[in-house]
Amino acid sequence: MDHERIIYIYDYLSRYTDENHYVSISQIQEHLANVCNLTRVKNVTIRRDLDRLTAMGNHIVKHNREHNTAYYALIDKSFSFNEIRFIVDSISINKFLTAFQKKTLIKKFEGMCSDAENRQLISRIVLNERCPSTLDLLENLDKIHRLIGERQKIDFEYGKYDETTKQIAYYYKKREMLPVSVIYFHERFYLKCLNEKDRKWRIYRVDRMKNILGGEVSYVRLPPEDNYEGFVTDMFAPEYFTVVTLRVKKYLLDEMRENFGDYASIFHDEDSDYVRIRVRVGINRKFYLWLMQYGDGVELVSPVKERAEYLEEVRKMLRAYPEFA
């Protein structure tokens, strides 16, 4: 009976107390009597139970208020309310979870909050159904992490857009792949694998995988991973890295700093409406296409070779519009 009562008290404190809401021993007694059918629990018994909960590592704070009445709250829960709110916000905006998956996950965090905190939590949540109902990202990630941990080879069907059906079509082929790591990049999860036949790295989008199966355990030695010392536009390895100089309109400066981070150095330009940015970047066609989105807001000044390659990409785009050629 002691253990059952302690659990009831812990549950009550978890649900109804936090940093701003405290309860008295008489309120705990009322809850035990009305909800848990435990009547006539003495004050000293509840104090002893609170001491036991504290000894178990729970942070129970006691405040004395009017008439020297003691009030209690469970403060140090698994997560602080701000941490839970951040996690819930991250779940609610995730475009690869279905609305049902989001609600299920959020419901679990509600159990870690008091009722007052839950009212704040629920008022912030707006769920968008942006994910196809057939995709189970959480199940994919769970299987992948298990295979990585057990060093098992991986097999799966992979999806690509089919122009005929206007849908993602999945196909299977035998792969000699060892899954190595899951990478989160630009709001997507990617799986990095080692192809044991040619000893090269392969990248796959986790949301395009299904029917994931594990194979035999691999004891192959992993080659050194790519060390990206510079800005890259996507998950796929660039051809090489070099330092470029960009002439940027000032209204784009904040965005450029967010993109380039510590890789960039910023200098004055002779025109007060511009700045110059020197940054180490990974060069491939994707970088030039990424640069095009900024139009005349960004000029690739140097090196000469990369400027010429970028101009050729711009000319290719213009050739699609003969009236501007």
Reduced to 3 states (helix: H, G, I; strand: E, B; else coil), residue 40 is coil
Question: Which residues 6+ apart lie within 8 Å of 248 measured at CB?
Answer: 256, 274, 275, 276, 277, 297, 298, 299
**Domain 2-76 sits in CATH 1.10.10.10:** yes
Q: Of residues 226 and 8, which shows the higher confidence score? A: 8
pLDDT tens for 311-320 read: 999 998 888 8
Provide the mean pLDDT of the chain: 82
240-322 matches 2-76 in CATH topology: no
- pLDDT above 90 coverage of the chain, percent: 22
Determine the angle formed by the axes of helices 285-292 and 304-319, rounding to 10 degrees: 70
pLDDT tens for 104-158 read: 777 777 766 777 777 766 655 454 555 554 557 778 888 888 898 889 999 999 9
Q: What is the pLDDT of residue 132?
A: 53
Q: What is the pLDDT of residue 250?
A: 92
Assigned CATH topology for domain 240-322: Alpha-Beta Plaits (3.30.70)
121-140 burial, b at 16+ Cβ within 10 Å, e below that, comes to beeeeebeeebeeebbbeeb
- Let me know: does 287 contact 233? Beta carbons within 8 Å: yes
pLDDT tens for 262-318 read: 888 999 989 999 999 999 998 988 899 999 999 999 999 999 999 999 999 999 888
Provide the residue ranges of all domains of the chain, joining segments of one domain with +.
2-76, 81-124, 137-217, 240-322
Q: Write the CATH number of the domain with boundaries 137-217.
A: 2.30.30
Supply the pTM of this predicted model: 0.57
Q: Decide if pLDDT at 194 tops 80.
A: yes
